[in-house]
Structure 1
Amino acid sequence: MKWVKRILGIGILAFCVIGTIRFIKIESPMKSGKQSESAMVTTQEQEESKTQDLEKNDVWSKIASTYMEGAVCEEASAKVKHRNWIYQIHSAKITKNRNPKWDFVPKFEMYQYDKYENLINDYSYVAVDLTIQCEKDKALEHYQDLYLNSIGLGIFDENGMQVSAGEMRTAILGKKEQKNYFFYNLKDGEQLNTEVVFIIEDKFLTENNYYVIDITNGGIKQSLEDFVLMKLPLGVEKNETGSKK
């Protein structure tokens, strides 16, 4: 009887070993297949991301060319020098709420406010927090005066077509509304930290649009040296910035 039990035990053990080997053979291709599938998905996502980046760059190129052939849109996070001025954007936002630090808000019939001067109709504030610094340069002394209203806002759709534009309406300069309000006497080496504000219809303030400011301080756009374009971290650019964090 002992030898019968031994034979049965050996048989059961062999059966278990064979079953395990079969399971491993079946499981391994399944795992390999899953890994290959995962790698394919990752590669596909990378290719789609590259395609989207190329499409965005193409749109930005179209936007820049609407201002002048050969122009480029500087990154929102960059320090940009234009003549003897250095501009840096820190943030941008779309809001209905008035910042108490703004010097005033424009009293036009199309803008409707509550008692706190928050917008309550189909318009919103587009506020850009930025720093402007003046560098001493005798060769550029005739560009020494800073006119903040030389900063304009442009909004473009996914095809690079302009859908809206805006002039500056107010800022943080520490002075009352007056005829020469947007002129600021910035001394050599001095930095101005301010928030410049535009007011735009809500229908143009979508996440699918592209936002840019153009700066022509000291002149008219006659050559590429006369202005600079800077992307705003809003819309498509805001989504792109957020996805990189």
Structure 2
Amino acid sequence: MSQASEQAVEREPASAVDVAVARIRKLIKARKLGIGDVLPSEAELALMFATGRNTIREAVRTLKAYGVVESRQKVGAIITDGRQVAMTDLFAFAMDISADSFQDIQGFRRLTEMNLGETLIDRITDAELDAMAEINGMMEASQDVDRASEFDFRFHQALVDAAGNRTLSEIYAMLRPVIRRLMKTGKSRRDALHAAAGDHRDILDALRHKDRIAYTHYMNRHLQSGLEYLGDPPDDATQA
């Protein structure tokens, strides 16, 4: 048997549902449908693609799982941007705030935020640094744990956004519920809140002076520092 024949045998044919999903996505693109626009009905799609209603129904369910569409009563399938919701649902299991989970999430952040130093040195503007300094000030002044963790996340999201990579920014935003939950650890302690704000100031100072080594050092220290507060779980109702 030739190599081409072997590859043809090994390659699994696309299922009817997969084909229907691909065709619906092409239809969305061809018609330039945007968020809020309505897809043709299942009957119309089945006729359009010469396939069964059950196949179309399963294809639409697949698109729902991907966060591309959602169903509305008396309307049908609506184009949406539910990727962030889908990702949130994926992480919605009761993740324990443990040393292992902390290291996993901080490992992801270390791969992104620490390695952005080179790019940020070249790209970040004084206006962006000033905006982040303002966010940091609001975080330090916050009296509520949840509010402080929200400003903490905004600071780091702004840092990632300043790198100018839209895909990376979207992925970071999708992880917001998980990252924020870790950020709340220790926020009920005023010394921890001041320490985080101080770390942020050091990071900003390194960027202002275009010091790559200092940026890497301060970011690594900051991402690791929360580990000491894992024994003191956050309480949404606790006042800082």
TM-score, L = length of structure 1 = 0.26
TM-score, L = length of structure 2 = 0.27
More strand by share: 1
Based on CA coordinates, which of the two structures has the bigger radius of gyration? 1
